[in-house]
A and B are shown apart, each in its own frame.
Chain A
């Protein structure tokens, strides 16, 4: 299984048609760093299918912990069986942070920081 991070991943040579297909479904290419990144997750199922075909392997999108900023995959999470947004690249709470007793406070503090940084910028 290949783990894809939304902010940057490398792909083998695609050819023109595959490249256009990726652009259409919300994947962008940054020439400077020669990496692809997922700009729009509305078509996440399609992105997963196309990437899986390109890489000839199953795809899992890395989740980012909003508290500690670490990366993890949904399979590591204890809620994976009934999570409605499983394997959609999103901000979440990792197992380590969730197991802390004060994770709720930390989560709301992270949200506050995120909003403040965004509004100021």
Chain B
């Protein structure tokens, strides 16, 4: 087995060596050619192995840019981003003139991974840099539809990358085999292309793993690899579920998706009226969803997880096998409206909980009792009697935000 990974050995050096996504490549080059301070940054998005990172590396090399990369392995807190990317983003045109180059490009790979405690404030820092930058900023993500990336999406031009088509993958594999002096059957290439599911990197890795020391590659050699289960995004998963030809396909589409069952239930619920227009079909679909919901309720109550398979069958196969009308896939709505509503009201709910906690401590009642029995009166007091309100707020040690909240909801009521 050779030491070097072929996905690295045959990593494109020139633009014409990058296969697939031709339109995306040209759009990206056009964006870079016309970029000037104040222009939008670019967000390359699409599934892994479709050439996003490679395109940035090759373009920067071919056009003489100095590429500064930050990927998921780096710490990407606000401070880290500002200290690394900040000075580059403020690079002046004098630097470019002095060093006789095209300047720098800042590339942040896997921005959809900038979350959590370890990356606190990362997105905010990034937005600030995008606003003030003097150099082109390129972002890449597999799934840009996370609500946390909403502001980032607005400040970027989006370029979508699709899975690479089989004939193009076969062309590349053929070329690699020629370079390696390996003779291969056409069907072997076709099988590898099918197995890769449009992911070029995995196709090259599979080719390398089956060739090993061989000089001739036959179709039976590659068939031992089996098919790869690829994690699919929400649009693909919903298309797979709604258009499954049988129960097995519907469940498989759900199993291959990256979404948990609760989120999937809400997502399917939201998208049913978009997909089905016949009221009878729609009613049957809602019925299947409600049965799934009953199973989830029983699981929560009894912790009997063996019921999960019935819930999943109801919410996937239950909605795909009932369709009578001929439909085509639509652009599915995601994230679910319930999750979005909870996100919007999170700060308000936190404030309300804080007030109820303080009332509970002082009045020796539960948070629930404080919410139902005390809060309605507090709203009235805070809107009508400022002296009493100030006494109560100092007794309950309410902060300004809480006082403002009580005044506001009192006014709205």
Contacts and interface: CB of A to CB of B under 8 A. Distances in A.
Interface of A: 41-43, 45-46, 48-49, 52, 58, 66, 77, 79, 82-85, 88, 90-93, 98, 103-104, 107-108, 111-112, 114-116, 118-119
A46 B331 contact: yes
Contacts of B190: 79
Residue of B14, B167, B174, B331 contacting most chain A CB atoms (<10 Å): B167
B198 interface: yes
B23 interface: yes
The A interface is mostly helix, strand or loop, or mixed, namely: helix
A93 B168 contact: yes
Interface in B132-189: 158, 160, 162-163, 165-168, 170-172, 174-175, 178
Interface in B320-376: 328-331
A79 B29 contact: no
Contacts of A90: 22-23, 162, 165
A49 B332 CA distance: 12
B328 A45 contact: yes
B22 to A, nearest CB: 5
Residue of A66, A104, A107, A108 contacting most chain B CB atoms (<10 Å): A104
B331 A108 contact: no
B194 interface: yes
B19 A83 contact: no
Contact of A79 (B19, B26, B165): B165
Q: How large is the interface on B (under 10, 10 to 19, 20 to 34, 35 or more residues)?
A: 35 or more
Interface of B: 14-19, 22-23, 25-26, 29-30, 158, 160, 162-163, 165-168, 170-172, 174-175, 178, 190, 193-194, 197-198, 235, 239, 328-331
Please name the 9 residue pairs, one residue from A and one from B, whose CB atoms are nearest each other, closest first: A84-B163, A112-B16, A104-B171, A93-B167, A79-B166, A84-B198, A111-B16, A104-B174, A46-B331
A84 B162 contact: yes
A82 B227 CA distance: 12
Nearest to A77: B167
Given A79-B165, A103-B167, A104-B178, 14 more contacts: A45-B235, A49-B329, A49-B330, A84-B162, A85-B162, A90-B22, A92-B168, A93-B167, A103-B171, A104-B170, A107-B167, A114-B22, A116-B16, A118-B30
Contacts of A41: 23, 160
